[in-house]
Structure 1
């Protein structure tokens, strides 16, 4: 009876189950590991955002980019804005749609400049026009901002474009920007969160990022549910094959075990006579 489980059809099904079950289990753990990575990154991001501000030279330096583990931490710097070398960064999101970021060097009292993303402004009416940018305050100013490492085509997926209007860029490539400035520049840049004295009007501040855990945990559970379904289906199929085999064995066979027909009731009896 159990030989039915080793038919060519069932062997193919066994092989399929033995292939997909470990694969589904592995895929579940892979998605779980991705969720754990996202969880760790989200915890680090939240902790960095909530950390107290530190002097900018604690987290970066001239010719040294910001460490990824320090991203989103708050830094402080004091100096004066250099509005003559201000840039705008195209295709950036704000609360009212796509616009531009305003990037202004802050020449610190210590000498190097810190690139400060002062916030978002709407796009101009045409692609070749300049946006309406509120000016930075004059004189000495103290800024607080979330530190970011420099942008590159590799970490943003954005490429620089030729032929842009003067003062417009696509990415905040700190090294490329620093090459055109007459003073040394700290690695990375800061997203402005506070400024003393404040300016009014001012660009719209860049919002703090939202924690995005993604769907990896749900995907992990789905793969493991698929694993259970595959195993249950395998067991049900084997039980059905065994049940059908028992039914076939229990059925009567033709031949010697066949029932003889009864003699008709009106058939004449034959009496044996002796002479």
Structure 2
């Protein structure tokens, strides 16, 4: 009854199933590992941000370039405050406001963007406190340059003079004459009565939409694997039912072309044809 499994058609089906199931399981496991990796990165970044508040600040240059291991760590730098910019459309504690960003010219000849604090309301240079004069030493959390469109960072263009949508060297290079660090710092304590901006986790370490997309893809691949198994058993069952019907002579004539040939059915059909032919012959009278 199961000889049909050796036909070329079923060889193709079986090979496809044997390849498709491991592939789906592998892809599902890979997507699951991506999700677990993001969860672990999120946990590490959270623990790092918590422990970073209590650790001793290190010199800025010793912590560059910014990566997952240095983002959120406390650093210190000295210099003179220069040009000041506003970063509109930033939320803090559920309230909308703006950052006050001031460039710190260091002894290295580069300027470090420093977020001195956050103020509520619409960005207005008249509300932003002027930076201290003379040599200042800043201490705060090191942050990587922002990417417009990621983690809530606005990609809006055409802002008024003195404003920037993202805190990054690429966004600031056309606004200030100084050479810039590819990083920025948010102060531990807000300057001049402003609220301090908490450090954010590095890009790709949070439980964001991409992380849950990986989890969704995991479910999809395992569902595909189950669907392949289900369809194989469904096809097998239909083939077995057809074989039984063919053996009992219950296969309709219009499905005979698509059915698997059965020798006993063919012989019965031939016999029926002969009998019907004989019944139409005219008897020859004897004598």
TM-score (norm 1): 0.64
Corresponding residue for residue 264 of structure 1 = none
Residue of 211, 217, 229 corresponding to 1:219: 217
Distance across 2 between alignment mates of 1:152 and 1:233: 46
Q: Distance in 2 between matches of 1:89 and 1:137?
A: 19
Equivalent residue for 1:270? none
Gaps of 5+ in 1: 258-275
> What residue is the counterpart of 1:180 in the other structure?
177
- For residue 168 of structure 1, give the secondary structure of its aligned residue in structure 2: coil
Matched, 1:133 2:128: yes
Alpha-carbon shift at residue 103 of structure 1 (Å)? 0.7
Tell me what 1:262 maps to.
none
- Which whole-Å CA distance do the structure 1 matches of 2:6 and 2:222 have between them? 27
For the residue of structure 2 that corresponds to 1:70, the secondary structure is coil
Question: Alpha carbons of 1:95 and 1:177: their partners in 2 closer, same or farther (altered >3 Å)?
Answer: farther
Q: Matches of 2:73 and 2:143 in 1, distance apart?
A: 8
Report the CA distance shift for 1:168/1:7 in structure 2 as closer, same or farther (over 3 A). same
Change (3 A) 1:208 1:152: closer
2:70 maps to which residue? 70
Which deviates more, 110-119 or 143-152?
A: 110-119
User: How many Å apart are 1:23 and its aligned residue?
Assistant: 4.4
Q: 1:138-153 residue pairs with structure 2 within 5 A?
A: 143-151=138-146
Q: Distance in 1 between matches of 2:116 and 2:61?
A: 19
Q: How does 1:236-247 map to 2 (within 5 A)?
A: 236-247=234-245
Q: Which residue of 1 aligns with 2:197?
A: 205
Contact 1:72 1:146 in 2 (8 A): yes
1:92 match: 90
After the TM superposition, which residues 54-65 of structure 1 pair with which residues of structure 2 at under 5 Å, given as runs? 54-55=57-58, 56-60=60-64, 65=65
Query: In structure 1, what is the equivalent of residue 280 of structure 2?
Result: none
- CA deviations 1:63-104 (Å, max 9, x no partner) are xx4345422222234566x2x521112333333455422112
Change (3 A) 1:113 1:91: same
Instruction: Rate the CA distance shift 1:66–1:143 in 2: closer, same or farther, 3 A.
Output: same
Summarize the Cα distance change of 1:180–1:112 in structure 2 as closer, same or farther, 3 Å threshold. Answer: closer
Output the aligned Cα RMSD. 4.3
How many pairs are equivalent?
242
Asked whether 1:167 is paired with 2:162, we answer yes
Is the counterpart of residue 230 in structure 1 residue 198 in structure 2? no
The residue aligned with 1:117 is: 115
Note the residue ranges of structure 2 that are not aligned, 5 or more in a row.
251-264, 273-287
Question: 5 Å matches for 1:251-270?
Answer: none
Higher helix share: 2
Q: Of the candidates 174, 184, 187, which is equivalent to residue 189 of structure 1? A: 184
- Compute the TM-score of the two structures, normalised by the length of structure 2: 0.62
Which one has a bigger Cα radius of gyration?
1
Q: Secondary structure at the match of 1:75?
A: strand
8 Å contact kept, 2:77–2:137:
yes
In the TM superposition, what whole-angstrom CA distance separates every residue of 1:125-182 from its partner, at most 9, and x where no partner exists?
8xxx6462245566776543221123466988866845x433212222337279524x
1:238 is displaced (CA, Å) by 0.7
- 1:45 is displaced (CA, Å) by 1.9
